[in-house]
Structure 1
Amino acid sequence: MCTNGSLTCGALLTMESLTLSPSNIYPAFLFGTLTYVIILFCNLLVLMTIAMNRKLHKPMFILLFNLPISDMMGATAFFPQLVLSILSQSRSISYPACYVQALLIHLYGSGNLLILTAMAYDRYIAICFPLRYNSIMTQNNLVRIITFIWLIDFSLILLLLGLVTRFKVCRTNIVDVYCNNPSLVKLVCEDTSVNNYYGLFVTAFMLGGSLTVIVYTYIQILRTCVMTKQSDARRKALQTCGTHLVVFLILQVNSAFSVISHRFESVSPYMRRVLGVSILVFPPFLDPLIYGLKTKELRQSMMVFFKRNV
């Protein structure tokens, strides 16, 4: 990662200050730790419930199974380092640790978009082609979809972060609360045009591609719901898709703003950091609650699993 003539790999980088007063250090530490523990507990509960209940081994829940994995990866990349820096009152981080954090955070962000897109496709098939659902969402096709999600995710992000390793690092200030690709690129004093162009491509592919699929599938779902004469089925479909759409839009809007804002000096750094942190806090916290509480079958299975084991 670090080459001769640049900062050594052992050199420390400094992330943006949290501006906490001495009286707020321990409350912030406890709040951050408690949030991380709740995120892990809720997501692990969803994982274990789906894994141990054969009734939930359906395409919708198997796709959902990937979401807690991605959420815990993002939360683990962010919270332990955050609470440690709060307790030690130090915003220093080594370059390798910063690089790994950026890698995991980008894998989490793009992974969530792809998983939510696949879940929207599953709902589209289930609502618009119910009689063909079992023949389309077969086990083999489901494996292909999940493999495609993680293969695309790892391929794009590994190349994105791999391009940064070509350069000598000449600065030590990370302009965000956590490490990410834009902040790592800003440590470089050389021409980073290739990084910028590829970064725009990844952003357009992830955000634009997922948004296109979501818009198309939801238009078709809405059209089917309007045409159906069964009010109960229409209400259930709209409720399921409505919560899914809220989760997707929160991640989509915040991700777009956080990435694109780095390219405009006029954008408030404070606003960029707030929205950037929200990407790592709200989806991992809300996803298991939304899908666990809103999905009746999963909610009932979680209650049974919790009573039996806890």
Structure 2
Amino acid sequence: MTLKNSSIKVTEFIISGFDVIKMPMAVGVVILIIYVVAVLANIMNIMLITYDKKLHKPMYLLICNLAVVDILYTSSASPTMIGVLVAGVKTISYVPCLIQMFAFNLGIVMEMFSLAVMAFDRLLAVSCPFHYHSYLTNARTLVLTFILWIAACGFVAFCPATVIPLPHCYSMMMYTFCDYSAVIRTTCVDPNYYFNMIATITFFLLFITFIYICLSYVGIIFFVKLTSNNDKLKMGSTCLNHLIVVTCYYCPIFITAILTRLGLVLTLEARNGLLIGTILGTSLVNPFVYCLRTKEIKCKIIKVFEKKLTSQ
């Protein structure tokens, strides 16, 4: 953690992670389209669940929370990337950069927590079908969600708390937006110490949430064996939605971790590409999985479009 003497006062950062891209406008337009579709799809899920009292149930409240998390997750980074690629705005002020870093990491942590609590919801629904609504009420679901947001903020507070006191030696970032690694590399310290700390926290959260999700499905499989065939189909359908979302989120993370452990050193361009794909892919897939595969939400969407067509 040796400090360099040539520290500078940084008021803004220059984002240079897209400088090697040959067609920045085309890439920016693609990111813009995916971002707009993802945000609109998540907002639609939130509105449908909010305004339909029949959907005011724990499972749908958790889906609504996941939609909020996805909007936060993708909105923390996408506008900056779109601004760089489409508008050519390659600078970001110091304070907005730190806010972006906090929001992005909060989205990552809340995505894990949200998927874990949704696994708990499915396990409770399968193991205690007759007492499910008495055990997990709407009020308890909201309290649990609020506690998860507070806990996630506590974990993510580590990022600005460690960055703010550090002097900066560079104002240029070889990254696509302000994530923790990007900001740390602009400081005058040895980044490995801070990378190891954030890697430890991230691995702990990933390990705990993923193992919990896996154990939940072990329990679900056990209890499903004791139910009738009709119940098995219904439970399998609702659990499959969650499994698709879990796979889309955890697979890119674990693939990157495995490749790194096998000794494959990712280039900065490859790392940036995987990160962008994870951010946009997760936020785009999640709402469509729950729109198209959840019967109640799908029926509600069809009714809305039918009303519009008949009114015309």
Same fold, TM exceeding 0.5? yes
Q: Aligned partners of 1:102, 1:309: CA distance in 2, in Å?
A: 41
Partner of residue 19, structure 1: 20
**Displacement after TM superposition at 1:12 (Å):** 2.9
Q: Which residue identity lines up with residue 136 of structure 2 in the other structure?
A: M
Q: Which residue identity lines up with residue 272 of structure 2 in the other structure?
A: R
**Cα 1:131/1:139, change in 2 over 3 Å:** same
Q: Aligned partners of 2:59, 2:87: CA distance in 1, in Å?
A: 43
**Cα 1:307/1:104, change in 2 over 3 Å:** farther
Q: Which residue identity lines up with residue 20 of structure 2 in the other structure?
A: T
**Displacement after TM superposition at 1:266 (Å):** 2.6
**Displacement after TM superposition at 1:193 (Å):** 6.7
Partner of residue 226, structure 2: 227
**Displacement after TM superposition at 1:181 (Å):** 0.9
What does 1:131-170 align with in structure 2 at a 5 Å threshold?
A: 131-170=130-169
Q: Aligned partners of 1:300, 1:30: CA distance in 2, in Å?
A: 32
Q: Aligned partners of 1:73, 1:124: CA distance in 2, in Å?
A: 27
Q: Which residue identity lines up with residue 91 of structure 1 in the other structure?
A: K
| Contact 1:101 1:180 (8 Å CA) reproduced | yes
**Cα 1:196/1:25, change in 2 over 3 Å:** closer
**Displacement after TM superposition at 1:256 (Å):** 4.9
What does 1:268-283 align with in structure 2 at a 5 Å threshold?
A: 268-283=267-282
- TM-score by length of structure 2 reads 0.87
User: Any gaps of 5 or more consecutive residues in structure 2?
Assistant: none
**Cα 1:307/1:164, change in 2 over 3 Å:** farther
CA RMSD of aligned residues (A): 2.6
Q: Which residue identity lines up with residue 179 of structure 2 in the other structure?
A: N
What does 1:26-105 align with in structure 2 at a 5 Å threshold?
A: 26-105=25-104
Q: Which sits farther off after the overlay, 9-18 or 250-259? A: 250-259
- TM-score by length of structure 1 reads 0.88
Q: Aligned partners of 2:163, 2:199: CA distance in 1, in Å?
A: 15
Q: Secondary structure at the match of 2:157?
A: helix
| Contact 2:38 2:283 (8 Å CA) reproduced | yes
**Cα 1:13/1:29, change in 2 over 3 Å:** closer
| Contact 1:15 1:93 (8 Å CA) reproduced | no
Q: Aligned partners of 1:309, 1:156: CA distance in 2, in Å?
A: 45
Q: Aligned partners of 1:260, 1:182: CA distance in 2, in Å?
A: 19
Partner of residue 180, structure 2: 181
**Cα 1:222/1:100, change in 2 over 3 Å:** same
Partner of residue 239, structure 1: 237
**Cα 1:41/1:308, change in 2 over 3 Å:** farther
**Displacement after TM superposition at 1:86 (Å):** 1.3
